[in-house]
Structure 1
């Protein structure tokens, strides 16, 4: 497996995990009282901002130093930041997700990522 294929597979798994976690967060936020929606969205943004700042700093450092592989870092840092932000915002909600929820989300991530990667490789 080439390094590019490994980076692509990892990024795909991170995108799938971020999407599943954000969907779970959206369902939990929809169940909150109407007055708590802004607080939940603000909490989500509060977790996303540090990850996106790291992404911008990586791009700037890559441009200043002249790293040719900064695109690979971006391909991993962006979905990882989204997954981290959604995961932490979901964890901050009352009650936090249980261990079986996390394990089922990880299992669904692996299954969907494998299906996506397989489908993209067949074409």
Structure 2
């Protein structure tokens, strides 16, 4: 496996994690009271902002220093920031057990493995 394929695989896992987290977040917000929808959205944005600021700082530093691999860093940093923000928002919305998180992670890894396999051989 080439380094680019490894970075792509890591990014795919993070995107799948973010996608599953978004679906779960939407489910929790839809079940909450209607007056809570805007505060939940504001909290999600508040959790996404620090990650996106870090992304902008990395891009600016890469442009100033002249890093040739800043695109590779962005390919992983952006989905990681989205996944982190959704994860933090979900932690405030729900009570979960380690067992639930383990099952969720297993499902995410299976979906990501299927997507990676389809991209490589399909």
TM-score (norm 1): 0.96
Which residue is equivalent to 1:24?
24
Structure 1 segments of 4+ aligned residues over 6 angstroms from their partners: none
Which residue is equivalent to 1:110?
109
Give unpaired runs (5+ residues) of structure 1. Answer: none
How far the C-alpha of 1:36 sits from its partner, in A, is: 0.4
Which residue is equivalent to 2:81?
81
* SS at structure 2 position matched to 1:103: helix
Matched-pair contact (CA < 8 Å) for 1:21–1:83: yes
Equivalents in 1 of 2:107, 2:89: separation in Å? 20
How far the C-alpha of 1:67 sits from its partner, in A, is: 0.2
Which residue is equivalent to 1:42?
42
Give unpaired runs (5+ residues) of structure 2. Answer: none
Question: Cα RMSD (Å) of the superposition?
Answer: 0.9
TM-score (norm 2): 0.96
Which residue is equivalent to 1:64?
64
Equivalents in 1 of 2:13, 2:118: separation in Å? 14
Which residue is equivalent to 2:2?
2
